[in-house]
Amino acid sequence: MAVVPKNLEWSLPVPSVQELASQKLDTVSLRYIRDDRDDIVTVQPCGETLHVPLVDMTNLVKPESQVEELRKFHSACKDWGVFQLINHGVPHESLKNTGKQAHEFFELPLNEKQRWAHKPGSLQGYGQAFVVSEEQKLEWSDMIFLEVLPIHDRNLEFWPEKPQQFREMLEMHGEYMKQVTISITRLIAKGLGIEDQKLCKAYEKGRYGVRINFYPPCPEPDRVVGASAHADISGISLLLDYGKMPGLQVLKDEKWVFVEPVDGAIVVIIGQMTEIMSNGIYKAVDHRAVVNKSKERLSVVTFCYPDSSVDIGPVKELTDSGIRPLYKTVTQEEYYQKFFNRKLEVSFIDGFKN
């Protein structure tokens, strides 16, 4: 009998989707079929109506455009829970190299990738996350997840040695994403009208984990999902999209809207910690990834969390004036306990509501 994981802190081994895709079959096996997925309308890319907001960091420092751009930022976090950030200060070369190293890793033979596979009790490494039963439906993707910062959280047992520059890329990428996070945190504080020092410090000493998602082409793209609908549990997540066509969708006004890749932009996703901390003013956006019949797609997502000693709850300044705290305050240990012991079909954040 297969061993069943006790909770979501580790995952059952599953076949590599990339290997399945290389067999060039006409149909996919039942374990991936999600005919329930199209219950919500999808807004087609390049449509006229809905576009994920674009925030330009240079406009946020220029005195003549600062106020208007901050208003745009605030409404993006409030009404969408996602935006594309441009002129963020991360060199284009570095973003390109991150994609190059990530691609080269997935191009390695399976046995080389499997040297860095998940082990029981750890979510780090190569494989798929949160597979807890033989019956569970699977996603059409492979991934590798690694804790990058703080340095003492790194577990090099899972850090690929090939391609040669992979580790160096990850270290650099982590540092850049931390800088971007601190800038965004300052804006969040400004947008909410709260003091920024404490929040920025929390992210200076924060935790940064990188997940690289690889979505191979799929013979039946409309019947599978690359990443199931979810909201991230992070403070914020920073996503780099290396697809030649859109794949990420966000839920807006009960419709799925494609996030169309903008060259050099970072997709900023508001996570559930920020929703709680902002007392529900900023929204953790539901999102998912769909796949394509002929093209592969790769994304590099950095999950950014405040220092683990920081409790998760509505910021006091937001509830001091008699406004009711919509969420309970919990330690991060309690927060993760809840997350790893949750039922996959139940809303995680609702468990914190007052």
Ligand X SMILES: O=C(O)CCC(=O)C(=O)O
* Contacting positions for ligand X (CB under 6 A): 211, 213, 227, 232, 247-248, 287, 289, 299, 301
Would you say 206 or 247 has its CB closer to ligand X? Answer: 247
**DSSP secondary structure of 281-350:** SS----EEE---SS--EEEEEEEEE--TTS-BS--HHHHTTSPPPSB--B-HHHHHHHHHTS-TTS-TGG
Q: Which of residues 317-336 bind Fe ion (CB under 5 A)?
A: none
Would you say 160 or 271 has its CB closer to ligand X? Answer: 271
Q: How far is the CB of 23 from Fe ion (least distance, A)?
A: 28
Which of 147, 232, 241, 296 is close enough to bind Fe ion by CB under 5 A?
232
Would you say 189 or 238 has its CB closer to Fe ion? Answer: 238
Structure tokens at 349: 């954040």
Q: How far is the CB of 197 from ligand X (least distance, A)?
A: 29
Asked if residue 241 binds Fe ion (CB under 5 A), the reply is no
**Contact at 8 Å (CB) between 342 and 348?**
yes
Would you say 189 or 265 has its CB closer to Fe ion? Answer: 265
Asked if residue 275 binds Fe ion (CB under 5 A), the reply is no
Using the contact rule CB under 5 A, the part of the chain among 16-24, 73-81, 217-225, 230-238 near Fe ion is 230-238
Residue 174 neighbours by CB distance under 10 Å: 20
Under DSSP, the state recorded for 46 is T
Please choose which of Fe ion, ligand X, none residue 247 contacts, taking the beta carbon within 5 to 8 angstroms, the exact cut-off set by kind.
ligand X
Would you say 59 or 237 has its CB closer to ligand X? Answer: 237
Alpha-carbon distance 112 to 133, whole Å? 26
Q: How far is the CB of 61 from ligand X (least distance, A)?
A: 29
Taken as a whole, the chain contains a residue count of 354
Using the contact rule CB under 5 A, the part of the chain among 8-16, 227-235, 311-319, 335-343 near Fe ion is 227-235
Would you say 52 or 289 has its CB closer to ligand X? Answer: 289
Q: How far is the CB of 119 from ligand X (least distance, A)?
A: 20
Which helix (H) or strand (E) is 210 found in, with range?
A: strand 207-215
Nearest to 271 by CA among 209, 215, 346, 190: 209
Handedness of CA 316, 321, 323, 324 (dihedral sign): positive
Which helix (H) or strand (E) is 106 found in, with range?
A: helix 92-107
- Interface residues with Fe ion (CB under 5 A) are 232
